[in-house]
Structure 1
């Protein structure tokens, strides 16, 4: 079975403005029939509460669409924030895109 996968690569400071952009992009991607969405955070240097809210919103949108959302390449700062806010419990994260491909795409 060949799953449709789309990768989003936000960058810089992930705040309310970038969070709104992410929500719009996720909505468009899900409307196109994508089944698996990977957010690659390698270029995100900082994330604030609005950015975290956008990620949670993206997860809810993805679940509603019966799709799956994964995150990869989070920095140590973002990882610490995920752990402090316990968001790491709702997102499956991967070291990078290669790790995602090895663990998820080879099992599909």
Structure 2
């Protein structure tokens, strides 16, 4: 059986306000039975510390529900933040959605 994959695609600045909305959206997706959550950061220009905290919180919630959370399409500035905070070791990051789709389909 294929996993239920849901995509969250925030845009602009991922700060405290927007991050809490993204976190709520992920909570609803998990509550509705998604097995895999992909956060596509293609349209995100910058993430602050509260945005990063919300991503970590979302990861914990998805894992607690038995699911998996992945990230794709991060820009150079966001990648630098992830590397500085070692979040690139916490999250599995794909370069784009196609790479994610290939990985998920080959895992089944």
Report the TM-score when normalising by structure 1.
0.97
Matched, 1:35 2:32: no
CA distance in 1, matches of 2:71, 2:60: 14
Secondary structure, in 3 states, of the residue corresponding to 1:51? Answer: helix
For 2:15, the equivalent position in structure 1 comes to: 15
- Cα distance, 1:106 vs structure 2: 2.2
- Cα distance, 1:104 vs structure 2: 2.1
1:1-108 to 2 correspondence within 5 Å?
A: 1-108=1-108
Deviations 1:13-38 (A, max 9, x none): 00000110011101100000000000
Secondary structure, in 3 states, of the residue corresponding to 2:34? Answer: coil
Secondary structure, in 3 states, of the residue corresponding to 2:88? Answer: helix
- Cα distance, 1:2 vs structure 2: 1.1
Secondary structure, in 3 states, of the residue corresponding to 1:89? Answer: coil
Q: How many residues align?
A: 108
CA distance in 2, matches of 1:103, 1:63: 19
Deviations 1:28-64 (A, max 9, x none): 0000000000000000000100000000000000011
Report the TM-score when normalising by structure 2.
0.97
